[in-house]
Amino acid sequence: MKKQFAVIGLGRFGGSICKSLVSEGMDVLAIDQDEDKVNEFAPIVTEAVIADSTDEKALRSLGVRNFDHVIVAIGDNILASILTTLILEEMNVKHITVKAQNDYHEKVLSRLGADEIVHPERDIGIRIAHNVVSKNVLDY
Ligand code: ATP
């Protein structure tokens, strides 16, 4: 059976995750409070819905608790990211991945029990620095 993913927040990070999951043949429910974002992703994903993920009732009515994996891709609004993660944890969602904006955010997410915390800007910076150094070493 196809795995079912929900992606909350359709910025550059969440949007790129949605596109990659779809290209891997997964079912994707995309959620954002911004109507324009939802309209942009509606033709790409399985279903796109306008909702505020800090509204527990809205998440329940979308059946988010039954998804295999929920990705919280809200960056700037740290409070919304934390509240959303808390609601998902209380719903016993199987697997929750959350994008962290900074180390404090990461610490709170980890306390809340997020299964996976990603820090894309930091991680890519580390990888690029590593690649640049290895390339320079090879060049000498
Ligand atoms: P990125 O770094 O991925 O490009 P961004 O800077 O474009 O992100 P963010 O502020 O991280 O934007 O938010 C990502 C998306 O999350 C936005 O499209 C925003 O509308 C959405 N979002 C923020 N809060 C909520 C919420 N409570 N419910 C649903 N969507 C939300």
CB 99, CB 75: distance < 8 Å: yes
| Half-sphere exposure in the Cβ direction for 107 (13 Å, CA) | 3
Tell me how far CA of residue 51 lies from CA of 56, 60, 63, 117, in angstroms: 10, 11, 13, 23
Percent of the chain past pLDDT 90, that is, above it, reads 86
- Look at residues 136, 129, 114 and name the one whose alpha carbon lies nearest to residue 8: 114
Per-residue pLDDT, averaged over 61-85, amounts to: 96
Distance between Cα 90 and ligand 1 center (Å)? 22
Distance between Cα 75 and ligand 1 center (Å)? 6
pLDDT of residue 136: 75
Helix (H) or strand (E) holding 117: strand 116-118
Is the pTM here over 0.90, yes or no? yes
Confidence of residue 134 (pLDDT cuts 50, 70, 90): confident
Confidence of residue 121 (pLDDT cuts 50, 70, 90): confident
pLDDT of residue 140: 60
Checking if the pLDDT of 67 tops 70, the result is yes
* Cα–Cα distance measured from residue 137 to residue 139, given in angstroms and rounded to the nearest whole number: 5
Least confident of 34-38, 66-70, 120-124: 120-124
> HEC profile for 3-15?
CEEEEECCCHHHH
Ligand 1 atom closest to the Cα of residue 101 is 11
The pLDDT mean for the chain works out to: 95
- Express each pLDDT in 32-58 by its tens digit: 999 999 999 999 999 999 999 999 999
Q: Which of 52, 57, 77 to mutate to test the pocket of ligand 1 (most atoms within 8 A of CB)?
A: 77
Give 15-71 as a DSSP string. Answer: HHHHHHHHHTT-EEEEEES-HHHHHHHTTTSSEEEE--TT-HHHHHHTTGGG-SEEE
Helix (H) or strand (E) holding 96: strand 96-99
Per-residue pLDDT, averaged over 52-80, amounts to: 96
97: three-class secondary structure by DSSP: strand
Confidence of residue 14 (pLDDT cuts 50, 70, 90): very high
